[in-house]
Amino acid sequence: MKILVAVKRVIDYNVQIRVKEDNTGVVTDNVKMSTNPPDDNAIEEAVKIKEAGKATEVVAVSIGEEKAQETVRKALAVGADRGILVKTDGIIEPLAVSKLLQKIVEKEKPDLVFMGKQAIDDDCNQTGQMLSALLNWPQATFASKIEIKDGKLEVTREIDEGLETIEINVPAIVTCDLRLNEPRYASLPNIMKAKKKPIEQLNASDLGVDITPRIEQVKVEEPPKRKAGIKVSSVAELVQKLKNEAKVI
């Protein structure tokens, strides 16, 4: 069994996001980037399946600028066997990502495609679902447990009502939840060794996919700033304010 894992390079989750002064986007220059956190869970799961002897190869793929190579390297450092980078410039929307992944899937012929349930930068939560539709493969989203049983997948999903367990046929798409596993940290010798693992570089244009954005971004703005609070001197004043100003009681 071969597993393809899609990983995305995003602004690190610890970074305080700043909006560009001309409201065309957020500041990314000189900002610390890292792997989209649920994509780390996707890689971890694939590597665990391989370590358990149920998969033969784990291929990490990223789509984005040249530097997205670092994200692929990180996946290689924790156990992926080889990498693919599809180079693109500028904003790339989930539909274009799914179409590019479709081409990669047609080329690589994996049995499973794993990815994070959504990216923490645009929060779209669309790529896995769109790829499933394009390939006409079954999908299991928000996975918090994956078991391989007789060539089928039993997946536990995190849904609003609780947990849902479904069985799907392979080949399939699985989008991973943060609860799926505890991603490992790569040791320095493994980080160094990852540099020697192969990364195939492709250009989006070579794959014959139109990646022109279809959504026009009008403006990016910061959320409104919270105003400073005030101190009240008595319970009576608090009640009065809650009643008359906040109008919550």
Partner 1 sequence: MKSKTKVVVVGGGVVGVSALYHLAKKGWSDVVLVERKELTSGSTWHAAGLLPLFNMSYSVGQLHKYAVNLYKTLEEETGKNVGFSVVSNIRLASTKDRMDEYHQYAGVAKTIGVDVKFLSPQQVKEIWPLCHTDDLIGAIQHPEDGYIQPADLTQALAAGARNRGAEIYRNTAVTAIRQTKSGWVVETDKGSIECEHVISCSGNFARQTGEMVGLDIPVIPVEHQYIVTEPHPEIQKRKKAGLPEMGVLRDSDSRWYMREEAGGLILGPYEDGAPACYVEGPSKDSEYELFQEDLDRLAPHIEGAIHRVPAFGEVGVKKVYNGAICYTPDGNPIVGPAWGLKNFWINEGHSFGITAAGGAGWQLAEWIVDGEPTIDMLGVEPRRYGNYATKSYLKAKNEEAYSHVFIVHYPDEERPAARPLRTSPCYERMKDLGAVFGQKFGWERPNFFATDGMEQKMIGHLEDQNGLMQLRKSVRM
**Contact residues for partner 1 (CB under 8 A)?**
12, 14-16, 18, 27, 30-33, 184-189, 191-192
Q: What is the DSSP letter of 120?
A: T
Query: 20 or 243: whose CB is closer to partner 1?
Result: 20
Alpha helices in 78-164 (DSSP H): 94-108, 127-135
Q: At closest approach, how far in Å is the CB of 91 from partner 1?
A: 20
Shortest Å, Cβ 187 to partner 1: 5
What are the angstrom distances between the C-alpha of 64 and each of 156, 203, 238? 30, 10, 52
Tell me whether residue 151 or residue 189 sits nearer to partner 1 (CB atom). Answer: 189
Give the Å distances, CA to CA, from 79 to 124, 133, 185, 193, 205: 27, 29, 10, 10, 29
**2/184 with CB nearer partner 1:** 184
CA distance 240 to 247: 9
For 203: left if phi > 0, alpha if psi spans -120 to 50, otherwise beta; the answer is: beta
Closer Cβ to partner 1, 13 or 167, answer by number: 13
For residues 68 and 102, the answer to whether their CB atoms sit within 8 Å is: no
Could you tell me the smallest distance in angstroms from the CB atom of residue 69 to partner 1? 12
Q: At closest approach, how far in Å is the CB of 148 from partner 1?
A: 26
Given the complex with partner 1, which of 27 and 159 has the nearer CB atom?
27
* Residue 183 beta carbon to partner 1: minimum distance, rounded to whole angstroms: 10
